[in-house]
Amino acid sequence: MRFSKIPRSIRRVSSHLLAIILGVALTVSTLRVLPSLAEPAPNPVVDTPELIAQKQSPATAAIGNTSFVTAAVNRVGTAVVRIDTERTISRRVDPFLEDPFFRRFFGEGLPQQMPSEQLRGLGSGFIIDKGGLILTNAHVVDKADKVTVRLKDGRNFEGQVKGIDEVTDLAVVKINAGNDLPVAPLGSSDNVQVGDWAIAVGNPLGFDNTVTLGIVSTLKRSSAQVGISDKRLDFIQTDAAINPGNSGGPLLNDRGEVIGINTAIRPDAMGIGFAIPIDKAKAIASQLQRDGKVAHPYLGVQMVTLTPQLAKQNNTDPNSPIQIPEVNGVVVIRVVPNSPAATAGVRRGDVIVQVDGKSITSAEQLQNVVEDSRLGQVLQVKVQRGSQTQSLSVRTAELQGAS
């Protein structure tokens, strides 16, 4: 049938349909052939320094082929060591068995001394010098008769304790293993922030070369808060798993730099561990290497933080032995005999409110002021004694039995 014989109404509809079909085809063809008439093509992506840093960030690396934890551990891993210790304890017989009457009755064949006992300990450490200097905790090697250091490659060396400081729980051990040992890169704890990555490396419970991951939970956690008030430290708190045997091992940042030394755990809590800031350890390690000990100044008082509310509670208690000024400061609960504080006239119940013109509001603050002073330095201490204020001159002395 020819197109001319198709009724006009049908031809009109067919023309419209053809126009629509051709229009769609043309549009599709145009979009395919002329991309400039569609959406502009995106510009090529260029790696800027910001994008490069983002690609190398821990969050990005963690989902790549190699995690940032792996890279950090690989950087420091060979410098982490295991420390085994042995200590011999001679056990005496019960004093009752040493009574002369008892011996006359039972004869002189009774033992004078029980068999000795071998105590074994386990800890961690890390190499800080190519010549074999190792940093660890004092409580790992203190009073040990024998110290054995095992490197990651399996070699064992006898360790010589060069110095111990019980107050900061730090020790330096030396091994003779040549002059080309791997060294752990030391970072700065001053740059650490809450929420930063924290990687603990060590030998917990004897499981060598163990790595755990967490974050920095808080900073400047005082030793009193941790529960070891005989130390003078502000710890890094972390939730990276730390267990017995981790002591002395490094706490790393996401770049594999040492930011702390794993030291303490809370046995009554999960996921709470503490590390000595590396900047504090650097200064102490230098003194231990040079002198074998560290001299710490002291005043000779036992003290607690005081607030007006606590003082009021004390003063309203009919069984309280003393009345305390209701002020902010540090109350002295005991003065050590023959100490600098005793010589200067500090008394039990005095509230220390100022040292060298600086207000004192906590026991930790006062401890830090004393720790930062020099041996023999005279500190001007202002105390509130009852309703009176007195100024006392206290000359610091060396804390004995600290190392």
How far is residue 280's CA from residue 301's CA, in Å, rounded to a whole number? 24
Cα 342 off chain centre by: 35
Cα distances from 330 to residues 82, 144, 341, 352, 367, in angstroms, run 42, 38, 14, 5, 10
- Which residues are CB-contacts of 351 (< 8 A; sequence separation ≥ 6)? 306, 324, 325, 327, 329, 330, 331, 332, 383, 384, 385
Residue 104 neighbours by CB under 8 Å, 6+ apart: none
Contact 366, 360 (CB under 8 A): yes
Q: Which of these is catalytic: 139, 254, 362, 373?
A: 139
Q: How far does CA 361 lie from the centroid of its chain? A: 25
For tokens 């024998």, the residue is 146
Q: Phi, psi at residue 72, to the nearest 5°? A: -65, -45
Asked if 139 is an active-site residue, the reply is yes
User: Which of 169, 234, 254, 350 is flagged as catalytic?
Assistant: 169
Which amino acid type is present at position 294? V
CA pair distance 366, 167, nearest whole angstrom: 16
Q: Which of 189, 222, 247, 403 is catalytic?
A: 247
How far, in Å, CA of 159 to CA of 143, rounded? Answer: 13
Q: Is 38 helix (H, G, I), strand (E, B) or coil?
A: coil
Catalytic residue numbers, as ranges: 139, 169, 247
